[in-house]
Amino acid sequence: MKYIGPFLRINIINKNNINNQMFHLSKETLKHLTLQSHCGISITPNDFIKHSSDIDINTIKDFYPLLCIYKKANPKLITQDNTLLWNEEKFKKEINIFSNSLMTLSLLELVDYYSSFENIDEKNFNLRNIYLRLAQKQLEFYAANLRNSEGVFVDKIDVSESLIDKTKFEEKSKKFKYSDQALLMCAYYKYSTYDNSKIGMEYKNFSFDILNMLIFYKEELYELPNSELLKLCIAMNIFYDYSKELMAKSLMLDLSDLLIERYKLQTSFNSKNKLENSCMLYFNFEFMYSNSDILKFKDSAEDVYSKLLQLYNDDLGIFVKKSDDKKIKYSCSDILLYLYSTMIHSTLHEDRSSERIITEIFKNQVINSGIILSWPDTPNLNNAERYRNYSLNSDDLIDDINFRMPTFSTPTNNEFASVFIKSIQFNKKKGTFKPYKLTFDSSKNMLIFFTSIYYHNHIKVSLEEF
C-alpha cells in the first residue's frame, strides 16, 4: 500500500528533507547495486548463507551479492524475462580499490542504521545481518585477490573469459595508493567492532598492520600530491572517529598540518584545480577541528568555505566554476561534494544563511540538471522507516518529501538505475544543463553514497522538520 498524500501540497523543501532524501537514495541504490546489479564479481546465494542461520535472503529478488564492484557500466537498464537488469556487455571490468573500499564502508555504516530496527521491523533488521555478512565476505575477497606480491592493495582487471571459468586478475598498474590502504584500514577495523570471533580479531590486527605501515613510511606521505594527501587525511579522520587510536591521531595531525602549509602557499583559489579537492580540503579541516578542538583547523575550514561560497551565483541559484569557456563541465562529485560542504557548514555552525543556497543547489544542480537518472520509490506504509521513531503510528507518518521529490521517475518507470552519471555541461548563454557523459562511474558514486550515509549517521540534524 502506498500513501499518495494530499491532492494539494505546498512543495517547500528544506535542509533536513534534502538530507533524508539523499540518505534514502544512497541506501536504496547501494542495496540494488550490491545485491542485485551483477555489476561485479558475485557470490552465489548458497555460498553466501552457508553457516549463517540468522540471514533470510528470500525477501530479495534476484539475490547475487557483490564481492567487488566494477569501475564503469551503462546505467540504462534492459528488460529480460520481465525483469530490469544491467547490461553485462557494457561493464568495464576494472576493480578499483577506492570505490570498493567506500562500498564496504557504506555497508558497514548501514549496519549501524539497520541495527536500530531490532525487535521493531524484522525485514529491515535482516538487512543488517546481510550487510554485515557481505562486508566480511568482501574484505576476505579483497585480501585474497586484490593485493600485489608485496601485500599492498592495488587496482586490478577481471580478465576471466566466462562466468564458468575460474576468476583471473591482472594488475592494472604496479603502483599503489596510500589512501586506498588507509580506507581499507578503516573498513577492516569497522568490521571488527561487530565481530568478537577469530575473524574479527584478525581483521582488527590487520587494520593496525596497515596503520603501522603508514606510520613507518610517514616521510613518503609528506611527498604525496594534494589529491592523494586529501583522501589519506579523510581516511585517517574516519579511522580515528571509529577507533580513537592515539597513534592514528598523531599521524592525522602531522598530515593535516601539512595540508595547512600547502593551502597557505596557494596564491589564489582557482576552481579549475578540481573543485572536488577543495571540498575535501574543507571536510578535512572540519573533521580535524571536531577531532582535536584545535582552533587553527576551524579557522582554515572557515577560510576554505568562504572561498567555496564565492562560486555561488545568486541569480542562477547554482555554483559556477571559474571558466572562460562557453560551456562548463561538472562532475557528479563536484556537485554533490559542494552540496555537502554547505550542509556540513550549516549543521555544525548553525549557519542558517547557507540553507537557501543548499535548497537552490539541490533543486537546480541535482534534481533538475540531469545528473541523477532516477530516484528510488518511497517505502511502503508497512515499513517502519516511514514513521518517526519507527512507531508504525499514523500520527507519526513521515511525509514523502523526506524520501523523494514527487515528480522524479523511479527506475521501474524510466528504466534507468538511480545513479549519478559521470558529468554534465552547463551552457552559460542558455542557462541550461545537459548530460556530458552518460556513464555510471563506481568511484564517483560510491564517494557520494558514503558521504551521504556518513553525514546522516555522524552529523546530527534536527528531526523537527519531518
The CA distance from 89 to 107, in Å, is 27
Cα radius of gyration (the chain) = 22
Dist CA 428 CA 438 (whole Å) = 21
Is 332 in a helix, a strand, or coil?
Answer: helix
The span from the CA of 303 to the CA of 223, in Å, is 24
Give the pLDDT confidence of 13-55 residue by residue, as tens digits: 999 999 999 999 999 999 999 999 999 999 999 889 887 778 8
Q: How confident is the model at residue 462 (pLDDT cuts 50, 70, 90)?
A: very low
Q: Is the pLDDT of residue 56 over 90?
A: no
Tens of pLDDT, residue by residue over 142-201, are 999 999 999 999 999 999 876 666 889 999 988 999 999 999 999 999 999 999 999 999
Torsion of CA 269, 272, 275, 280, to 10 degrees: -60
- 39, 40, 46, 52 alpha-carbon torsion, rounded to 10°: -100
Is the confidence at residue 460, as pLDDT, over 80? no
- ∠ CA 383-112-277, nearest 5°, is 110
Would you say residue 466 has pLDDT above 70? no
Spatial distance between the Cα atoms of 248 and 234, rounded to a whole number of angstroms: 12
pLDDT tens across 111-135, in order? 999 999 999 999 999 999 999 999 9
Look up cell 575477497; give the residue: 141
Beta partners for residue 73, in sequence order: 440
**64 near 44, Cβ under 8 Å?**
yes
Strand partners, 171: 156
- What pLDDT, on the 0 to 100 scale, is given for residue 461? 52
What percentage of the chain carries pLDDT values higher than 70?
Answer: 94
Which sign does the torsion angle of CA 334, 337, 343, 344 carry?
negative
Cα-based distances in Å from 345 to 20, 78, 232, 278, 456? 17, 41, 22, 14, 14
Closest CA to 172 of 139, 148, 149, 150: 148
What pLDDT does residue 2 have? 42
Least confident of 186-190, 284-288, 325-329: 325-329
Burial of 135: CB neighbours in 10 Å, binned 0-12, 13-18, 19+: buried
The pLDDT of residue 7:
40
Structure confidence by residue, pLDDT tens digits, 401-420: 999 999 899 999 999 999 99
Spatial distance between the Cα atoms of 107 and 250, rounded to a whole number of angstroms: 28
What is the pTM for the complete model shown?
0.94
